[in-house]
Structure formats: C-alpha cells, structure tokens
Amino acid sequence: MSEVEVSQVHSNDSKTQDFEREPVPAHLRKKWLSMALVWIAIGIDLSAMFLGAELGNGMNLADSLTATMVGSLILGLIGALCAYVGAKTGLSTAMISRFLFGNMGARVVSVVLGVFSLGWFGVQAGFFASNMQTAFHKLWGIDLSLGLLSFIGGVLMMSTAIWGYRSIERLSTWSVPLLVIFIAIAIFTAFHQQGSSAIWVPISGSPIPMGTAISLVIGIFIVGTVLSPDIARWARTPKHAVTAAFIGFFVGNSFMTVIAIFLSRLMDTDDLTNIFIMLGLGLPAIIVLTLAQWTTNTNNLYSASLGFSVVFNRIPKKLITVIAGLIATLLAVFGIYDKFLSFLNVITSFVSPIGGIYTAEYLLVNAKKFTFEGIDRNKNWVIRSLVVWVAATFFAYMTTAAPDGFGWFELTRVPALDAFIFAFIVQWIVGKIMTKKG
C-alpha cells in the first residue's frame, strides 16, 4: 500500500489516531499553550535537576544562572527552528527524513533515531531507578533492586507513549502544575530553614568553567530539539509551533535547572534526592522524581515508535510502541544507565546533524519538495544528504574530547551543537550547488 493510500485509511475514531505516517489533519491541530506545556514537562526531568545541583555546587549564583539562561536560550532558538519545519509539513522527524535521504535512506535514519531513542529511554529509566532506590532506602529503610525499579519505571513511562501525543498532552497538563507546586514548597522550605544568605556563600565543590557549564546545559537536551517535529506537527500554525517550542525549551530546560541551583546552594550539596529528604519532603520527593521522569521519558519512547513506524509501515504503531518499550525497559534492567556519558556523546553526535540537515534543506534549499502527496515519488537514496550526515557526525567526534572522541580541536565546546551547525552550513552549500546543476 502506498503512503498516499495509507493516508486515506482512517479509523472511525480519529481520537485514537496518531498520524504517524501522514500529516496531522488541520482540524486536530493544537494551540501553542497546550504544546508549550508538553515541552515544559519534557524539559522538567531528573537530568536537568541534577545538572542544576552540580552547577550550583561548582559556580557562584550569578555565573550558574547565566550559564543556564544562555544555554537554554540557544536550545529555545534551535527548537523553534526545528519546530517550524514540523508544523509546516505536519510530519514527524522520521517522515521528514524521507525528503532528505530518500525513501530507503530514510529507513536507515529512522532506525538510528529509533535505536538511540530507545537507548536514551533505557538510560533515563535507569536514572529514575537509581534515585528512587536512594529515596526508598533513606525514607523508609526499604531496599529495592535497581532491576525491579527500572522495570516498574519503564512500564509506567511506556503506558502513555502507547496512546500517542494526546495522552502525553493530558499527562503534561496536570503534571506540570503539580510539579511546580511541590518545587515551590521545597524552595520555600529551604529558604525558611537556611535563610537567603546561604545562596551567596562560596562554592564547596570543584569549580566549573563558564564554557563547560553552558555546553552541559545545551548538550543535555539538544537531541530533544532535533526531534521537536514529533510534537510540532500537532501545532495549529507555524507561529503556534515556534512560540510553543521556544517557550517550552527555554522555560522547561531552565526551570528545573535554576530551582536545583538554588536548592543546592541553600543546602550545600548536589545530592538532589537527599535535599528533599533533608527538607522533610519525602513523599513530594517521590512524586517529583516520578513525574519529572515520566513526562520526559514517555516522549523518548514516542519518538522511537515514530521512527520505527516509518521502517515497519505495516505494523500498528501501538504494537511497535509496546515491543520497543519492553526492549528499552530491559536495557534499563540490564544496566545501560552505567554507560550514561558515553551513550550521551554517541547519540548527540549522530542525531544532532539531522536537525541541521532538514532545517537547511527546508529553509534555504528547496521547501517545495516537502509535500506529502509526492512522497512516494522520492528517490530511494539521496546521497548528498547522507554524505553530509556522515561528515557532520565525524566532525562531532573531532570536537569531542577523548576517550569518547578524537579531541582534535574545539568550536563551540558543545560537539552536538558543532554537528548541527556544520550540517546546516554544508547542507545549504551542497544543496544549492547540486540544485543548480540539476
């Protein structure tokens, strides 16, 4: 069955459809606020919280806040750029790749996107389990295995991804206010116990340079900006998508990091789980740990399922999500979390260039070819885009410090951002040259 024919086979109940292989219909598109809440919820995760605690322990208040704001601003701008393409096409990142790499080339890209999203799901589920284990032990003296907690967390986070974007939207709508309430209680309690003077005391941890801090803020979430079409395709207009993405990535990424900076400086530790327990907020700590990771990790599996839906186009997306979710959960159970930093470097090097390629192609080379009606007439392989992708990934490894990269030189100090910029510029130049020849 061709892609256009697939688009004509609609379920009687459109509320259960996720339009993984076709544009989202105009009458189902969302306003910017509901989408911004989804991105804010995705940005409020344990990684951002623990990064903020680390920055607060290794920098003075002004420097740590500056690094967070600058890094989040860059993420917001990249996210808005990528979201614009998603809203204009109404398609997922994996489907957009068909215009860039060809119908067969896109399958390679979709597998890469899917595999890395699954791996990241496993890493984050393991991260959740590790912190939940600490919380249960310190609060109630209960020792639960990491494997069991990883399995419980993975299944929980998988549950909303199965039902698609609208389920994630509902989760975000009620979880974000609840998270904000509990975080506000924690901040108020910390200030009440320690006094405001504590935030100005000299740092107790190892100093963190400004460039390193900004790179950490960007690197921790740049893959999410590249995959933003998966959410932005639901936007009512490109303006709604750009507004929601910028606010979502800027606020969502910075909110928990800033809160964690204040908490770590007030309590003089970068152990965020222990901070909540020291403040006497045991149950809120459990709720924050659960919701923060649930809202983020369900999107990782959602993106993975969208990628695999392009490859296995005859299998229902819900079944793909269940199978992928179980595989990713098993990765968490067997300890992929232990490879966190190395995996983060690999995923950012491979995925970041894809965002640079599709934004350059759409904005500067040939936007007219991004039409769903003609998608089956695409070439099987578009060599120039594949070459740019490989070159940009190699470039990222050149700017990544050893042992995970070659460490030959530095550009922005953020290898993932280096790869995005390199891919954008080269795709633009090569695309213009090849288009003129054609």
The pLDDT of residue 438 is 56
Q: Residue 268: phi, psi to the nearest 5?
A: 55, 45
pTM summary value: 0.87
DSSP-assigned letters across all residues of 224-272: HHHTTHHHHTTBSSHHHHHHHHHHHHHHHHHHHHHHHHHHHHHHT-S-H
Buried b (16+ CB within 10 A) or exposed e, 24-40: beeeebbebebbbbbbb
Decide: 119 and 336 in contact? Cβ < 8 Å: yes
pLDDT tens per residue across span 237-268: 999 999 999 999 998 889 889 998 998 888 88
The pLDDT of residue 15 is 57
Q: Over 70: is that where the pLDDT of 1 sits?
A: no
Q: Over 50: is that where the pLDDT of 7 sits?
A: no
Question: Would you say the C-alpha torsion 319, 320, 325, 328 has a positive or negative sign?
Answer: positive
Percent of the chain with pLDDT over 70: 95
Which of 96, 97, 98, 95 minimizes the C-alpha distance to 379?
Answer: 98
Kindly list the structural domains of the chain, giving each domain's residue range(s) and its CATH number in brackets, ordered by start.
Answer: 32-436 (1.10.4160.10)
Q: What interhelical angle do 93-140 and 340-360 show, nearest 10?
A: 150
User: What span, in angstroms and rounded, lies between the C-alpha atoms of 86 and 235?
Assistant: 9
Q: What interhelical angle do 165-194 and 32-43 show, nearest 10?
A: 60
Decide: 218 and 75 in contact? Cβ < 8 Å: yes
Q: Does residue 25 have a cis peptide bond before it, meaning omega lies within 30 degrees of 0?
A: no
Q: Over 70: is that where the pLDDT of 8 sits?
A: no
Q: Residue 30: phi, psi to the nearest 5?
A: -105, 155
pLDDT tens per residue across span 178-208: 888 888 898 999 999 888 888 888 777 788 8
User: What span, in angstroms and rounded, lies between the C-alpha atoms of 329 and 335?
Assistant: 10
Stretch among 104-108, 366-370, 401-405 having the lowest mean pLDDT: 401-405
| Average pLDDT estimate for 332-346 | 79
Q: What is the mean pLDDT of the chain?
A: 88
Residue 397: pLDDT band by 50, 70, 90 thresholds? very high
Percent of the chain with pLDDT over 90: 49
The listed range with the strongest mean pLDDT (44-48, 218-222, 307-311) is: 307-311
Residue with tokens 């490989």: 390
Decide: 67 and 344 in contact? Cβ < 8 Å: no
| Average pLDDT estimate for 347-357 | 92
The pLDDT of residue 87 is 96
Other CB atoms within 10 A of residue 86 CB: 28
The pLDDT of residue 354 is 95
Helices (H), 312-400: 317-333, 340-360, 383-399
Decide: 232 and 87 in contact? Cβ < 8 Å: yes
